[in-house]
Every structure is written in C-alpha cells, then in structure tokens.
Amino acid sequence: MTSTRDSFPIGTRKSALAIAQTVQVQSALQRLNPDKSFPLLQMTTTGDNNQIQPLSSIGTTAVFTRELENALEREECHLLVHSLKDVPTQIKSGFVIGAMMKREEPNDVMVMRQGEVKALKDFGPGDVVGTSSVRRASQIRRLCPGVQVMDVRGNVNTRLAKLDAADSPYTCLLLAAAGLQRLNLEGRITSKLPPDVMLHAVGQGSIGIECRADDAETLELIKPLDHLPTRLRCEAERSVMRILEGGCSVPIGVWTEFDSSDAEDVGTLRLKAMVSSLDGSEIAVSEASAAVNGSVELAIELGKTVASQLLAQGAETILAKVLQDRNQTLVPTGTGEENTIKGWEV
Ligand SMILES: NCc1[nH]cc(CCC(=O)O)c1CC(=O)O
C-alpha cells in the first residue's frame, strides 16, 4: 500500500452540476478529515466536447468517465465524483464505486417554459417536449399521445437557456429533480413525475465515488459516505441494466423502494423496471420484491430476477430492435441538427 497521504485530489468534470456534486463530496470529506486536503482536478471529457454526435456512436456513457479514469489510473487524483447514472454498469477492472451517496429524489420532473401554464394531462398535439433521453421520450409519448419530442443537448443550464429563448420550440423540458436541486434551480420545477408516470434512470439522484480497487486508504476515507439503502437500491437497478444492455446502452427505466416506512430498514426491496424500443412503440414492464436484508448480493439477485422477467416478457425482441435502430437517423426537424444522427442519453 502507498504510504499515508495528506492530499487526495478529486477528479471531476467541469460542468456546474459536476462541480456542485464534487464540492458536496469535498466538504463531507473535509469535515471528517480536517488534517487532510481534497483539491479539485477538473477535466473535460469526450462527452462534454461532443454535443452533436450520438453518444452511442462515440462510445457508451463511458464517454463521460474515460478521461477521468485515465487520471485516476495515473494517480493524478485518488477519487472521482460522478452522477451515478452516468457511470457505466461495467466499470473498468481495477476501479470500484467505493461509495454511493444518499440519494436525493430520483424522480424526473417537468420544467415549463417561462410564462407557459399547462398541466401535463393537457399535453397533446402542438406541444413540444425537450429531451434527448429515449427513456423519457418513450414514456411521455405514451402518457400524452400526439406530443412532439425534440432533442435538447448540453448541460442543465444550457438546456434551460434553450427552453426560455425567444425562438424556443419547446413547451417544456424533462430533467432529473436531483440535478436542478443541486444547482439551486429547484424553483424551476413545474411538476414532479411520480413512478406511475415515469420510471427514472438507473442510479439517478445518487452521487457515485470511484477509486482504485487497491487503494485501501481512499476506500477507507470514503466508506462513511456510502449510504446502505441507496447502495442496495442502486445495485439492484444497475444489475437489471447490466443484464439487459449486454455492453450497449438501452432505454431502461426503474423504480425502487423498501417496503418499510422506516428509512433505515433495509429488509424488503421492491424493484420495478421497464425497457423500451428507441421509438417508444414497444415497452416491457416487470416488478418483483425480495428480502435483501442489507445484502448487496441479494439486491443484485433481485435485479437479475426482474431482468429475466423482462426478457421473458418480450424484452429480447425490443433489445434486438434497439441494436438495429441505433444507427438510424431519428432527428426531428427544426433542431438544426437534421444532418446528424440523434444523440440520446439516459
Ligand atoms: N444526463 C446528464 C445528467 N447526469 C446526471 C444528471 C442529474 C443528476 C442525477 O441524476 O443524479 C443529469 C441531468 C439530467 O438528466 O437532468
């Protein structure tokens, strides 16, 4: 093991959301370890540089983590802070998610264009919903038949600026509650989407802290930031995804909760999941619950159970279609990106 260190540089992306999350981790670590320092090492990733090409063609979600992992490997930093939902389910060998921090609200929310007043139930033809997430798009199309879904790329602030612009085509955006909360933009939330309306992304709302698997000192430092109920829920969610995606990203929505109303009771976990075709025309949904009693292995088993139920219910055909459709041009008109292949995110 490396000798005891005084400084633990934290690797992060440069977006406002990434920095807000990293500062949260930095403060927590500083409070627990007043004699050590946690400087920020900010990096630009392939995913940040490329806002036009589809994420699926420049790699997988690893486009947001690869450069960071290289720096971690070279020991330029000792930990990385990510939105857990941006962390691929198969992380590179030699790295681990040493902590999954207590989850904020995992829900997606609707953000209306400034001055626009309309309830979700009244959405229909003529309304334009901005999202680049196939998961969000397929669910909103089912809920509000006739709505137009249009791509919107960029970080949270960029998207809000596009929504409010004078020439904005959008009626509203769909975003993660957690991102807005962390940016102090909670006031922009028009309505929260409950699980019967929209299943959220795997890991959404939790911050994942990655480090080298053999770095016992850093693992020990971040251990107190791991929140067991969050860890169990996210391990179950990631397990469904790991089985269904088989190396490529697919639109999966999930919802997890413990049966008990006691927030620290990690006995029985319930997991609901759906997988959708890229155009949203086909969806498979399944759910199960299991006594996990605090065990990560049992949470992962629950994820496998739900994944096999989904496969038995036709998810296999949907996944084959996803693979086939991935390279197709799906860009809606009016985005200025008609000549590119539609990018999509989770
Ligand atoms: N896709 C980018 C991204 N990655 C994490 C979040 C939000 C924070 C989180 O889910 O933890 C967002 C923005 C969004 O989807 O609205």
* Averaged pLDDT for residues 59-75: 79
Ligand 1 pocket test, pick from 100, 156, 200, 237 with the greatest ligand atom count within 8 Å of Cβ, gives 156
pLDDT at 339: 30
Residues 6+ apart with CB under 8 A from 159: 130, 152, 153, 173, 175
Are 230 and 251 a contacting pair, CB within 8 Å?
no
CA 277 / ligand 1 centre spacing (Å)? 21
DSSP string, 89-123: SSPPTTEEEEEEPPP----EEEEEPTT----GGG-
Among 16-25, 32-41, 109-118, 198-207, the minimum mean pLDDT is found in: 109-118
ipTM of the complex: 0.96
pLDDT at 202: 96
Residue 30 host element (H or E): helix 16-32
pLDDT at 44: 85
DSSP string, 211-238: EETT-HHHHHHHGGG--HHHHHHHHHHH
Cα separation, 129 vs 136, in Å, equals: 10
pLDDT at 336: 36
- Tens-digit pLDDT profile for residues 82-109: 999 989 898 889 999 999 999 999 999 9
Task: Supply the residue whose CA is at minimum distance from atom 5 of ligand 1.
Answer: 83
Q: What is the pTM of this model?
A: 0.90
CA 179 / ligand 1 centre spacing (Å)? 5
Q: Please, what are the domains in the chain?
A: 1-102+206-226 (3.40.190.10), 108-193 (3.40.190.10), 227-339 (3.30.160.40)
Are 40 and 10 a contacting pair, CB within 8 Å?
yes
Question: pLDDT band at 56, cuts 50/70/90?
Answer: very low
Q: Can you give 185-218 as a three-state secondary structure string? A: CHHHCCEEECCCCCCECCCCCCEEEEEECCCHHH
Chain-wide mean pLDDT for the chain? 88
CA 205 / ligand 1 centre spacing (Å)? 8
Residue 132 near ligand 1, beta carbon < 6 Å: no
